[in-house]
Amino acid sequence: MEGARSGWLEVFEDGTWTRRWCVLQSGWPVATFTLFSDSGCSSETGLLEITQHSKAAVNEEAPGPLQKDFSFSLQVTPAADPWFFATCDAKRADIWMKALQSAAMEDAQHGPHGMRTMRTTAKHESKCHNV
């Protein structure tokens, strides 16, 4: 699966950091940020729709287990709980945050187009890996 950006990120799920292949696909009417358990994109674990209300930010003051080097948060909508992601270095975290913000700005340019949803599929058990 091709996307505007793809690569391994760690995602904070069920109280632990889990390695996921992430694909950010820009597009109209909505940009998507899809999480997979493998780089072949055969097992989807989550789908986030990126809107003009989505915000990505450095995860500087996260409590407890959310503290991790090179991490950032993604709040899909103001009312939604944030998702937490981590990379292997500050440069990659910055690249991902800019790509997510760019997708949100692209949505803002197109204007409102209805209700957005967030879907998370079945959880997968796996160990946290260095990315």
Q: What is the pLDDT of residues 63-114, one digit of tens each?
A: 788 889 999 999 998 899 999 999 999 999 999 999 999 988 886 665 554 4
In a domain, 36, yes or no: yes
Average pLDDT, stretch 42-68?
A: 89
Token pair listed for 91: 């440069």
Enclosing domain of residue 25: 5-111
Looking up residue 31, the CATH number of its domain turns out to be 2.30.29.30
Q: Which residues contact 2 (CB under 8 A, 6 or more apart)?
A: none
The strand pairing partners of 44, in sequence order, are 36
Cα 39 to chain center, whole Å? 15
In a domain, 129, yes or no: no
Longest distance between any two alpha carbons in the chain, whole Å: 40
- Report the alpha-carbon distance of residue 125 to residue 106 in Å, rounded: 34
Number of domains observed in the structure of the chain: 1
Element (H, E) at 107: helix 90-110
pTM score of the predicted model: 0.78
In a domain, 41, yes or no: yes
- Report the alpha-carbon distance of residue 48 to residue 74 in Å, rounded: 10
